Amino acid sequence: MKKTIVNLCRLVLATVFILSGFVKAVDPIGTQYKIEDYLQAMNLGAWLPDAGALILSVVISATEFCIGIFLLFAIRRRLCSHLAVIIMALMTPLTLWLALTNPISDCGCFGDAVVLTNWQTFWKNVVLLAAAIVVMKWPTKMVRFVSESNQWIVVNYSLIFTLVISAWSLYDRPQFDFRPYHVGTDLRTGWMQMMEGQESPYADFFIERMDNGEDITEEVLNNEGYTFLLVAPYLEQADDSQLDLINQVYEYAQEYDYPFYGLTASGEKAINLWRDLTGADYPFCQTDGTTLKTVIRSNPGLILLKDGVVIQKWSHNLLPNEQELEKPLEESTLGKMPDDTVGKRIVRILLWFVLPLMLLTIADRLWAWTKWIRRHKKLISYINKKEVKMRKKIVAGNWKMNMNLQDGIALAKELNETLKAEKPNCGVVICTPFIHLASIAQFLDQNIIGLGAENCADKEKGAFTGEVSAEMVKSTGAQYVILGHSERREYYKETPEILKEKVLLAQKNDLKVIFCIGESLEEREAGKQNEVVKAELEGSVFNLSEEDFRKIVIAYEPIWAIGTGKTATAEQAEEIHAYIRSIIAEKYGQAVADDTTILYGGSCKASNAPELFAKPDIDGGLIGGASLKAADFKGIIDAFK
Ligand code: 13P
């Protein structure tokens, strides 16, 4: 149930982030305008130059898109879910402010593709924030669509894809145009409807002559045949690198008698400057600046109307060239609406982005599946051929510094009775403080429950006040001893050399050693867990002969999971257990590795033990907190039923 909810939330978040990142990436200039609107609404307009807002626009779209893709594939699950919460926690109050004060009518979350009211946006964000919190709480419940070793392909491909889309949209025009001036729009009809009083997006669309202020919108839109409109919202900022091509198009329009107008929101001075600079003598008309920015995301850009319908749009970087202007529009492809439909463009995106990632996912999953099958087949064939004896499964309790003598005896008695009445399906051990050992050994049925200490000295005997030697432990009747626990390493500064001595002395006294290894949180976050456990084994037990090593039980206990309630996921634990087994195989051979019992420890409870112990390389647990109550401990032992 929990898994289903987390995965549903994750898919909702992923879809929204991908969609909102993508529509922003296809229109970086539109997103830049939106950012500037926001800054202006907060009186911070002067704070960021245009170029800064444009860079921010690309960064925001790439971040949203990549977080969406990473959530979809379950890549860097913890990091992405935290980022999603941070983003939503910032956006939700911001959109509440927008909804309450209304300084901007459209939040711009989805560019021009989906326009929401400010209250709709706020409630949408509340839902997304809740979904992000759910995902952040249980990030590892997200099912992976690509294995960790191959995820770098998705990461790099998505980042490159979104940056290329942004760059291409900047160079050309938005690859998907959601505005009411896209190719195919019948401006004439739209404008007429507006004039008849119907609701229309063309309320601010007008064309006024500069010389006498006459409104010629109707005349321009009603012109039968072709009309060129050179759109430059602000001439002062217009790109002047393609002036020759613009002039060429103008000369072409004159040659074939096509009307050609320059539309701008700039004043006389800027127009005259532009004329001086370019030698342009086409007529300039006045239009609303914001409308012109909506008409084409290029300053300047060129539009071709036919009978009032937008049939072509060119950015200043991709204006028609000399060869294309050889024939009149009636006879050339320039005069026809390109058959590059939205459908075709969507197919292109599917082919270039979705298909490769889908193929990668299929290949990756097949690879993971065959790996799993191969491993299981090997295991089954081993078992069938009885090539290996199944290694021992153990659930061991580590009482640590808990329980006075009376309480400890009572707990051991209760366990003894319970397990005598209902025989466990695994080895059971309890490791108690020294003072309990002799008393408990008197009544414990050690055929069912092994008894062990939590430590022993690194010296054989002598003047070491307060220490308890391995021989003393053995003399109580105990059979086991825990060595190398992270608490002893950390609080009592037990080094690998000291532990090496302790292991030797314990074995000399016929004690079975449960040897603990495990990494800290920082080490895991730095990806050093394998290095750490390897060094701990090499430092204290890899010096043993094969015969002696066979007597050791390993306990992998990630320090960040001990007593914290944070269990390593079954997958995380299995991954490192398999690694530990592989390095034992490297050192002592596969047969020894196959026989070595490797326990997991760290917030192990009756609720998570079955999933952990079901993993092929996890042979039981070393239990702290949950070994202090007979019922809890029994719940874990029952995982082997
Ligand atoms: P918890 O089970 O309390 O996390 O302790 C694990 C442990 O340290 C066992 O040795």
The answer to whether residue 443 is domain-embedded is yes
For residue range 57-105, list pLDDT tens digits in order: 999 999 999 999 999 999 999 999 999 999 999 999 999 998 999 888 7
Q: How far is the centre of ligand 1, averaged over its atoms, from the C-alpha of 235 (Å)?
A: 71
Residue with CA closest to ligand 1 atom 1: 624
Q: Are residues 28 and 131 in the same domain?
A: yes
Last residue of a domain, one of 171, 199, 215: 171
CA distance 507 to 513: 7
Enzyme catalytic residues: 485, 557
| The pLDDT of residue 116 | 87
Q: Are residues 497 and 636 in the same domain?
A: yes
Q: Are residues 164 and 213 in the same domain?
A: no
Residues 559/545, Cβ–Cβ less than 8 Å: no
Q: Are residues 589 and 518 in the same domain?
A: yes
3-class DSSP state for residue 226? strand
| The pLDDT of residue 387 | 47
| The pLDDT of residue 566 | 81
Q: Are residues 366 and 398 in the same domain?
A: no
Q: Are residues 371 and 405 in the same domain?
A: no
Q: Are residues 428 and 369 in the same domain?
A: no
The answer to whether residue 178 is domain-embedded is no
* Other beta carbons within 10 Å of 337: 15
Q: Which residue has the tokens 């127009």?
A: 271
Three-state SS string across 603-622, please?
CCCCCCHHHHHCCCCCCEEE
Distance of CA 579 to the CA centre of its chain: 25
CA distance 227 to 174: 22
Q: Which domain holds residue 16?
A: 2-171
The answer to whether residue 513 is domain-embedded is yes
Residue among 514, 623, 633 whose CB has most ligand 1 atoms within 8 A, to mutate:
623
The answer to whether residue 181 is domain-embedded is no
The answer to whether residue 176 is domain-embedded is no
Residues 226/254, Cβ–Cβ less than 8 Å: no
Last residue of a domain, one of 171, 203, 220: 171
Measured from CB, residues less than 6 Å from any atom of ligand 1 are: 398, 485, 557, 562-563, 601-604, 622-626
For residue range 104-133, list pLDDT tens digits in order: 877 777 877 788 889 999 999 999 999 999
Q: Specify the ligand 1 atom closest to the Cα of 627.
A: 2
Say which amino acid occupies 526.
A
Query: Is this prediction's pTM over 0.75?
Result: no
The answer to whether residue 180 is domain-embedded is no
CA distance 377 to 360: 25
- Count of domains observed in the chain: 4
CATH number for the domain that contains residue 318: 3.40.30.10
Task: Give the mean model confidence (pLDDT) for residues 332-349.
Answer: 87
The answer to whether residue 574 is domain-embedded is yes
Least confident of 46-60, 223-237, 260-274, 330-344: 330-344
Q: Specify the ligand 1 atom closest to the Cα of 564.
A: 4
CA distance 272 to 367: 67
Q: Are residues 83 and 163 in the same domain?
A: yes
For residue range 297-311, list pLDDT tens digits in order: 999 999 999 999 999
Q: How far is the centre of ligand 1, averaged over its atoms, from the C-alpha of 515 (Å)?
A: 14
Q: Specify the ligand 1 atom closest to the Cα of 400.
A: 10
* Other beta carbons within 10 Å of 508: 13
Residue with CA closest to ligand 1 atom 2: 624
Q: Are residues 358 and 419 in the same domain?
A: no
Residues 562/607, Cβ–Cβ less than 8 Å: no
Q: Are residues 54 and 155 in the same domain?
A: yes
The answer to whether residue 296 is domain-embedded is yes
- The sheet that has 226-232: what strands, in order across it? 208-209, 284-286, 260-264, 226-232, 301-306, 309-315
**Burial of residue 613, with CB atoms counted within 10 A of its CB: 0-12 exposed, 13-18 middle, 19 or more buried:** buried
CA distance 369 to 57: 41
Phi, psi dihedrals of residue 320, rounded to the nearest 5°? -60, 145
DSSP 142: S
Q: Are residues 367 and 298 in the same domain?
A: no
Last residue of a domain, one of 302, 337, 372: 337
User: Nearest Cα to 515, choosing from 529, 499, 528?
Assistant: 499
Q: How far is the centre of ligand 1, averaged over its atoms, from the C-alpha of 415 (Å)?
A: 19
Q: How far is the centre of ligand 1, averaged over its atoms, from the C-alpha of 143 (Å)?
A: 27
Q: Are residues 152 and 56 in the same domain?
A: yes
Output the six-digit token pair for 502: 């302790």
